[in-house]
């Protein structure tokens, strides 16, 4: 199959899915979401593929959702908006439930939905200068489509801080909280990933699929179809909300959203009261 937004290379039992929109920092639009889901389905049934690597062309791994596409969907009909949000949540869920080992090869930056891809993979290896950010609340949104995978990766307590603050994380902090399991110099990133793949392709395929299913069954709240649907509806509602539309528009217009007070616009940080 020929893809518009992906470049897939297969060799030695490994398929590398390259996000291939470097001109927009590999931001995800509806075409990429659809193509990723299709690629996951195809590779799941390809007996020659033992492991899957997700990587990004250009200077960054993935900047999240394409906000021009998000703005378009915020004005869509409720039915179309929910259907599109369901496709995004379904893509993360499909990656998470693949029976084959999956590895995120992360460099440059992973923002918003880019983190969704990272935490939906079994293993994540990042370059030491990578930056991470769950930036949705600054756009009037929330990371609903990938919430289940995020909780699985870093737990509720850490998710609370970074979902609410939208702070930027260094690779070292991402490693500390469990978002990534391995760090490497950028020049050594492929060597580290390849070393890991050497171990993964030596495992028995059916045993690996069973092990993944076991971990999903034991790992906290079950990931049901109803939960995926609920997450999609929440995301769609936020995207169509007044805050969602204002946040996306403000970003595209390179200005602060209306909820940021004038006195706070020169600094990203706030000040805690010293009273009491």
Known catalytic residues are 136
Contacts within 8 Å (CB) and 24+ apart, 155-163: 162/134, 163/134, 163/136, 163/137
Q: How many residues does the chain have?
A: 276
* Sheet of 6-11, strands arranged across: 6-11, 14-19, 51-56, 102-106, 123-127, 182-184
d(CA 118, CA 150): 9
Spatial contact of 20 and 55, defined as CB atoms under 8 Å apart: no
Residue 40: CB atoms within 10 Å: 21
Spatial contact of 112 and 65, defined as CB atoms under 8 Å apart: yes
């Amino acid at each position: 199959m020929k893809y518009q937004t992906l470049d897939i290379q297969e060799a030695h039992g490994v398929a590398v899915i390259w996000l291939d929109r470097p001109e927009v920092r590999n931001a995800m639009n509806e075409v990429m979401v659809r193509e990723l889901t299709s690629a996951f389905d195809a590779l799941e049934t390809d007996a020659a593929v033992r492991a899957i690597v997700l990587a990004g062309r250009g200077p960054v791994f993935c900047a999240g959702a394409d906000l021009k596409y998000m703005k378009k969907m915020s004005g869509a009909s409720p039915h179309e908006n929910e259907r599109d949000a369901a496709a995004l949540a379904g893509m993360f869920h499909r990656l998470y439930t693949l029976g084959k080992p999956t590895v995120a090869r992360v460099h440059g930056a992973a923002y918003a939905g880019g983190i969704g891809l990272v935490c939906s993979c079994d293993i994540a290896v990042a370059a030491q200068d990578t930056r991470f950010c769950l930036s949705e609340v600054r756009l009037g949104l929330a990371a609903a489509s990938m919430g289940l995978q995020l909780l699985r990766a870093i737990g509720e307590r850490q998710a609370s801080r970074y979902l609410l603050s939208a702070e930027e994380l260094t690779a070292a902090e991402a490693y500390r909280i469990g978002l990534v399991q391995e760090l490497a110099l950028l020049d050594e990133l492929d060597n580290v990933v390849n070393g890991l793949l050497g171990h993964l392709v030596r495992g028995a395929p059916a045993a690996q699929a069973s092990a993944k299913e076991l971990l999903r069954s034991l790992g906290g709240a079950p990931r049901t179809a109803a939960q995926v649907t609920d997450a999609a509806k929440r995301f769609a509602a936020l995207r169509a909300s007044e805050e969602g539309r204002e946040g996306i528009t403000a970003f595209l217009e390179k200005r602060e959203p209306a909820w940021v007070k004038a006195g706070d616009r020169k600094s990203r940080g706030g000040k805690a009261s010293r009273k009491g």
